[in-house]
Amino acid sequence: MATSTMRFRVGRRRSEQLRKIFGFLFLIPGLLWVLMPTAWMFSAAFSSLAQVLRFPPDLLPNPWVWTNFYEGFTFLPFGRYFMNSLQISIIRVIGQVFSASLAGYAFARLRAPGRNFLFVIVLSTMMLPYTVIMIPQFVIFKELGWINTYKPLTIPFFGGGAFFIFLFRQFFRTIPEDIFEAARLDGCTYFGIYWRILMPLSVPIVATSAILIFQNSWQDMLGPLIYLNSNKLYTIPLGLATFRSSFGSSPWNLIMAVSIGAAIPPVLLFFFGQRYLLSGIIVGEK
Amino acid sequence: MQTLNRRTFLKFSGIVAGSAALAACAAPAAPAPAAGGEQAAAAQEQALVTYLVRTDIGTGMLEWNDKAVADFTEKRPDIKVEMIGVPWGDYNAKLLAMFAAGTPPEISANYAAGFATFYSNGAITPLDDFVAGTNTDLSIIEQAAINAVTRQGKMWAMPLAHMPVLAFYNKAMFDEAGLPVPPTDGNDKSWNLDKMLEAASAMAHDVEDPTKAAWGMSFPTGQLGAYCWRWGFDPFNDKGGPELTEAYQTGKVTEAFYDRPEMAEFFQWHIDLTYKHGVAPRPSDTDAMTQTVGWPIMSGRLGMAVDGAWQFTNFVSVKPEWEWGVAPLPYGPADLNTPPLFNDSWMLSAGAKFPEAGFDFLKYLALENGSKLYAEMTGFFPANKENYGIFFDAIQAIPSFAMTREGIEEVFNTSFDLGYPTPGKTLESFPEWNTAFNQTTAPMMNNETTVAEGLVTLQTQMETIIATKA
Amino acid sequence: MATLDTQTSRPNSSGERVRGRGRFAPSLRTEEAIWFYIFLGPWLVAFLIFTLIPMGASLVLSFARYNAIQPVKWIGFQNFVLLYHDPVFWKSMRVTLLYTVIFVPLQLGISMMLSLLLNLRVPGMRAMRTIYYLPSILPAVVTGLVWVWLFNPDFGLFNFLLYKIAGIHGPNWLGSESWVMSAVIISGLWGMGAGVIIFLAAMQGISPELYEASELDGAGLWSQFLNVTVPMLSPVILYNLLIGMIGALQTFERIYVMTRGGPNYASYFYNLYLYDNAFGYFKLGLASAQAWILFVVIMLMTFIALRTSGRWVFYSGGR
């Protein structure tokens, strides 16, 4: 018994090492592949415009131009756009996480007639192309007087969204049922269970949803383009589209600098939130 | 290219920062109230004119709009002009979305779709009643430009720019090859395709090696094949040039003749530039370069570039170090050099809430001080004849511009005399025709299929669209 | 992490078990149902106003001619007839389906391999994962243009490297009918961060004991992958397949920036044509008809995928 465990441990260690070596051999070309466009963007963000346009392309900036970031963010009011994007994204994250978690809880643990039917409806909205509803939605927003406000970019999402409702439901279903029953017997209300028992246990899934929702909102270009009219309400992606030239040369170095600067919040969120992402997403069951 | 826009950047950032600061005092970043209610409430004291502007940099349009609106507001405190900035590529999408919402901007421009598309969709108001009601004198606007936006005896838009297609050239490259530069007189028939090709061949070298390559010329084939006019042919009639095409009068395309031999000759000549003579970059390269690097001639490695007069805007902002100039289109096989004429015209939306105020603003932009600023700042050639001089002064102020005043005036005057409005500004649903044309001609232009086959595809596609419109 | 362990220890459908036990009185049942609908309230309201009503409206519009300015004009099935006779419509459908069929399996395979590697416990892996995820975060408006730049036949980085390293004159990526789809697929494979994350999360959930047991049986790395990892991941593979498919069928923004659908419609994706009809040509009725057709296609493909999935998807909880 003891010897077999020993042998197993040794074998396991060796195969583990093998795996790591193989893994790294594969990861490096992949890394280069992923990095090529990204590296080009980085390099451009630190180059002069003349150097960006040079052929053959230089792989490293020469000389390094640090002022692109400052110039890019002051050239258009990108500081303001940044704050606008942040505001929209945060409002959307709060509203969407709240309602998706409530709906997820309902689907995971509450019994009601029509539950399964409604769940199928929720899932099938994932298949609905946005283009189907885009135009009538626009007319509705107009009737509600929401054009040129942030409402069309936030409130419709307060429904939770199929994907996130699904994620929450999956997560809540992994929490042992006995907890719910015990809480009910202790006289805890359904909302009490959600708020006092479920939410504290749900840090991974809340973080996961928040990261993903933030990112969706942060990158949205079409919504702000169609719904916003005032320059002062514009968001980062819309500002970036504005940055281009129609038939002259666009300031690529500044565009790249702003793009990279704008990617910092979602990158930080991902970097620090990834351990939640990895434990929060549970799709592998029915 | 190296010296791009530093000055423009600083100027622009000042303007934007200023308006941002104003905006910051006016309201927090919180959602603004819906435009509709506000307008109605304010109707008594102040008319609100919303104005859709393109925000792409490098054309001077942003600076001009800011300055013109500020100046107008000072002169007419009873009217508030609110600019809505949109990226250049999304101008039409935004305009449509605003129409769909029932809140069209009072004033917008006919850039990509031409006024005819908006006219045929009932989106714009004719200006005649306003012109008559305010005793406006339109004689200072180039008549050809007014004709180009006239349908059923009514004027549907206000021309601000009126521009022929011209042949820009890099004089430094001509000098290096020991060649004389092209003439300035559009009636000079010695300036023809053969001459142009000869010059291009002398200037092109190392086209295989992109690090050292220099090309002789680039020549577009777009605008639904309007450049074929110089072959004595127009794709929308089978009798001759554009003046015989009914579609340009009505806006409605009912027949197409892309399968005719003149069309084949025209395309073959263009394709040969790249694949036989090796003097022109591939058309797809020119497009990709324009999208990323910028207009190829600004690289200093292209001898001649045929393009619209709006490209002066590039010279205004880049100010190249090498000497350059501009010539009329070269004569084609039919002894014609008809250049397509483009107008940028500003439209008053149907259903605008303050049409009178909107028209006053249009008048300011096209006939009053706004038009002077336009000629001075944008690099677009004005439709207002009184401002020709301002435009020429602005161009002559660029140190590397190597022409006399008489020379450039002659280029423009003769080009206007010989030109004809381009299909892009007169046909209804131009974007739809244009997409079909660009898509189906691409394999032929890339030498992946023969001209004969390519034209069959093109003709079939055009006939399909005609059938859907019937 | 906890999924599979807890799953095996509890029944897979909570509803039935409780009904059998009959623990709560009927009144409590009603209360529970009421709370269900209260909790679902935000979703229900949003669904009704922002999804269901617009869906109905666009279905209605698909039988009309509408240009956003003039009044709606009813034309029956004309929009659908028009599309049926429109070669560009069929071409856009073909391009989109072809792309989906090639791209989605590639994306699945590569993102699974990648997540296997990114799942290794090696120092610096957090940063490594972030780098791989970066392309999904950068704004699509900009990355689309970066690709135009990289694919440029003359001064793009790809052809430059091909020439430097292999001495090959690279193809005219975006300008050639025969190459453009390759370019579109290559650029698509760059930003697959989301799928990788879902795979990674699922891999964390596979219990190490399963690997240990198979190792005891003398299984090699490859057979371990085939006999443990793939079956345990199969529900996630299905999920990513569906999500990938739905996404691929709706490809738009990147192509809009990169190729505008050219040349000769070779990359004219379905949604590109739809967008052109709606926002380029003022044909909102026709665009609505197109959108509904796409919806039906997506539903059909999802249905087929789900129907055939029974054969290869393994649910550890037993079915």
pLDDT at A188: 85
Is B2's CB within 8 Å of A49's CB?
Answer: yes
- In chain B, residues 61-100 whose CB comes closer than 8 Å to chain A: 82-90, 93-94, 97-98, 100
Single pTM value for the model: 0.87
Q: How many Å apart are CA A252 and CA A254, to the nearest integer?
A: 5
For chain B, give the percent of residues with pLDDT over 90. 62
Close Cβ partners of B379 (under 8 Å, ≥ 6 residues apart): B59, B60, B310, B312, B313, B314, B315, B316, B317, B394, B395
d(CA A272, CA A206): 14
Say how far apart CA A154 and CA A217 lie, in whole Å.
Answer: 9
CA B83, CA B73: separation in Å to the nearest integer?
Answer: 12
Q: Is the pLDDT of residue B31 over 50?
A: no
Identify which of A35, A127, A174 has the shortest CB distance to residue C246.
Answer: A127
> Tell me, what's the pLDDT at C153?
81
**Res. C71: pLDDT tops 90:** no
Q: Do B442 and C262 touch (CB under 8 A)?
A: yes
* Share above pLDDT 70 across residues of chain A, in percent, rounded to a whole number: 87
Q: C100 or B30: which carries more pLDDT confidence?
A: C100
Kindly provide the ipTM of the predicted complex, given to two decimals: 0.83
Residue B293 to residue B184: CA distance in whole angstroms: 30
Say which of C68, C145, C263 has its CB closest to residue B443.
Answer: C263
CB contact set of C73 (below 8 Å; sequence gap of 6+): C64, C65, C66
Q: How confident is the model at residue C25 (pLDDT cuts 50, 70, 90)?
A: low
Give the DSSP letter string of B268-290: HHHHHHHHTS--S--HHHHHHHH
Residues of B within 8 A of A90 (CB-CB) are: none
Q: Which of residues 196-215 of A touch B (CB under 8 A)?
A: none
Per-residue pLDDT tens digits for B128-156: 999 999 989 999 999 989 998 999 899 99
CB atoms within 10 A of CB B195: 15
What per-residue confidence (pLDDT) applies to B414? Answer: 94
In B, minimum Cα distance to A235 occurs at B29
- Record the tokens describing residue B52, joined without a space: 């859709």
pLDDT one-digit tens code per residue, C192-236: 777 888 888 888 878 788 888 887 887 777 788 888 888 888 888
User: Looking at beta carbons, which residues of chain C come within 8 Å of B461?
Assistant: 87-88
Instruction: Name the minimum distance, in Å, from the CA of B62 to any CA of chain A.
Output: 11
Q: Mapping DSSP to helix (H, G, I), strand (E, B) and coil, where does residue B178 land?
A: coil
Q: What one-character-per-residue DSSP string does B203-234 give?
A: H-B-TT-TTT-BEEEE---HHHHGGGGGGT-B
**CB-closest option in A103, A181, A240 to C39:** A103
Which residues on neighbouring strands pair with residue B218, listed in sequence order? B305
To test the contact with chain A by mutation, choose from B4, B15, B298, B310 the residue with the greatest count of A C-beta atoms within 10 A, namely B4
- Packing angle, helices C208-216 and A2-45, rounded to 10: 130
Q: Among C156, A67, A45, which residue's Cα sits nearest to residue B292?
A: C156
Q: Which of A35, A52, A92, A278 to mutate to test the interface with C (most CBs of C within 10 A)?
A: A278
Give yes or no for residue A2 having a pLDDT over 60: no
Judged by CB atoms closer than 8 Å, whether chains meet at B87 and A241 is answered as yes
Specify the range with the lowest mean pLDDT, choosing from B9-23, B302-316, C21-35. Answer: B9-23
- Partner-chain contact B429 C278, CB within 8 Å: no
CB–CB of C148 and B292 under 8 A? yes
pLDDT of the residue at C51: 93
Q: Does A131 touch chain B (CB under 8 A)?
A: no
Q: Which DSSP letter does residue A195 get?
A: I
- Spatial CB neighbours of A82, under 8 Å, sequence gap ≥ 6: A73, A236, A261, A262
User: Quick one: pLDDT at residue C316?
Assistant: 59
Instruction: Find the CB nearest C137 among A99, A131, A266.
Output: A266
The answer to whether B104 faces chain A, any CB pair under 8 Å, is no
Inspect the interface and report whether the beta carbons of C7 and A158 lie closer than 8 Å: no
Which H or E run contains B155? Answer: strand B154-155
Q: What is the Cβ-side half-sphere exposure of residue C128, based on CA atoms within 13 angstroms?
A: 21
- Of the CA atoms within 13 Å of residue B13, those in its CB half-sphere come to 14
Chains that touch A (3 or more CB pairs under 8 A): B, C
- The separation between CA A169 and the C-alpha centre of its own chain, rounded to angstroms, equals 19
* Mutation target vs A (from B48, B55, B69, B82; most A CBs, 10 A cutoff): B55
pLDDT of B8 higher than 60 = no
pLDDT given for residue A13 in this prediction: 62
Q: Strands C64-65 and B154-155: what pairing?
A: unpaired
Task: Pick the most confident of A41-45, A62-66, C86-90.
Answer: C86-90
pLDDT score at A6: 43
Which positions in chain C touch A158 (Cβ < 8 Å)? 42, 46
Average pLDDT over residues B118-128: 90
Q: Which of A148-157, A184-193, B270-279, B305-314 comes out lowest in average pLDDT? A: A184-193
Give contacts of A246 with chain C, Cβ < 8 Å.
Answer: none
Tokens of B349: 């939306």
Q: How far is B351 from chain C (nearest CA, A)?
A: 9
Q: Report CB contact under 8 Å: B100, A149.
A: no
Q: Give me the helices (H) in chain C, please.
A: 3-9, 14-21, 26-39, 41-46, 53-61, 78-84, 87-118, 125-137, 140-150, 157-161, 180-188, 193-204, 208-216, 221-224, 230-249, 253-258, 270-275, 284-309
B88 CB neighbours in chain A (<8 A) are 244-246
Cα angle for residues B191, B197, B201 (degrees, 5° grid): 135
Per CB-CB distance under 8 Å, the chain A contacts of C3 are 174, 282, 284-285
**3-class SS of residue C217:** coil
Most confident of A4-8, B215-219, C253-257: B215-219
Contact yes or no for A284 and C232 at CB 8 A: yes
Q: Which residues contact A107 (CB under 8 A, 6 or more apart)?
A: A115, A118, A119, A122, A165, A169, C40
What pLDDT does residue A16 have? Answer: 66
CA distance C8 to A20: 31
Whether the pLDDT of residue B197 is over 50: the answer is yes
**CA atoms of C208 and B270, how far apart (whole Å):** 66
H-type alpha helices, chain A: 2-45, 49-52, 67-75, 78-109, 115-124, 130-143, 151-154, 162-172, 177-185, 190-192, 199-201, 203-219, 222-227, 236-242, 252-280
Reported confidence tier of residue B35, pLDDT bands at 50, 70, 90: very low
Is some CB atom of chain C closer than 8 A to the CB atom of B440? Answer: yes
Residue-level pLDDT at B36: 43
| Contact between chains at A150 and B83 (C-beta distance less than 8 A) | no
**d(Cα B157, Cα B311) in Å, to the nearest integer?**
23
Report pLDDT for A68. 87
Pair A225, A241: CB distance under 8 Å = yes
B295 CA to chain A: closest CA distance, Å? 6
The angle at the Cα of B450, spanning B449 to B453, to the nearest 5 degrees, equals: 90
Chain B CB contacts of A230 under 8 Å are: 23, 32, 82, 84
Q: Which segment, A131-135, A166-170, B1-5, is predicted with the most confidence on average?
A: A166-170
Q: What are phi and psi of B56, to 5 degrees?
A: -65, 145
Residues of A in contact with C35 (CB under 8 A): 106, 110, 190-191
| pLDDT, mean of residues C27-33 | 82
CB contact at 8 A, C177 and C137: no
Token reading at C37: 């609908």
Size of interface B-C (CB pairs under 8 A): 102
How far is C-alpha B18 from the geometric centre of its chain's CA atoms?
Answer: 30
CA distances from A138 to A29, A144, A228, C57, C62 (A): 45, 10, 12, 11, 16
B30: number of Cβ within 10 Å = 10
Partners of residue B109 on adjacent β-strands: B346
CB contact under 8 A, C58 and A236: no
Report whether pLDDT(B50) > 90: yes
User: What is the reported pLDDT for B203?
Assistant: 95
Kindly list the partner chains of chain B, i.e. chains with 3 or more CB atom pairs below 8 Å.
A, C
Which phi and psi (to 5°) does residue C154 adopt? -100, -45
- Evaluate whether A80 touches A262 at the Cβ level (below 8 Å): no
The pLDDT of residue B98 is 86
Q: Give the range among A120-129, B112-121, B157-166, B354-363 with minimum mean pLDDT.
A: B112-121
By Cβ distance, the residue of B1, B90, B100 closest to A135 is B100
Residue type, B194: D
Tell me if the bond preceding A56 is cis, omega within 30° of 0: yes
Chain B neighbors of A80, CB-CB under 8 A = 20, 24, 29
Choose among A230, A241, A245: nearest Cβ to B90. Answer: A241
Query: Using CB atoms and an 8 Å cut-off, which of residues 202-241 of chain B contact chain C?
Result: 210, 213
Cβ-Cβ contacts under 8 Å, A285 against chain C = 3, 7, 12, 235, 315-317
Residue in B with minimal Cα distance to C155:
B210
The span from the CA of B330 to the CA of B168, in Å, is: 12
DSSP string, B90-131: GHHHHHHHHHHTT---SEEE-TTTHHHHHHHTT-B--SHHHH
Percent of chain C with pLDDT over 70: 90
Task: Find the range with the poorest average confidence among A39-53, A151-165, B218-232, C172-186.
Answer: A39-53
How crowded is residue C98: how many other Cβ atoms within 10 Å of its Cβ?
11
Least trusted range by pLDDT, from B213-227, C38-52, C223-237: C223-237
Name which of A101-115, A231-245, C19-33, C260-274 the model is least confident about: C19-33
Q: A274: which residues sit within 8 A by CB, 6+ positions away?
A: C126, C129, C130
Nearest to A244 among B2, B87, B299 (CB): B87
User: What mean pLDDT, rounded, does chain C reach?
Assistant: 83
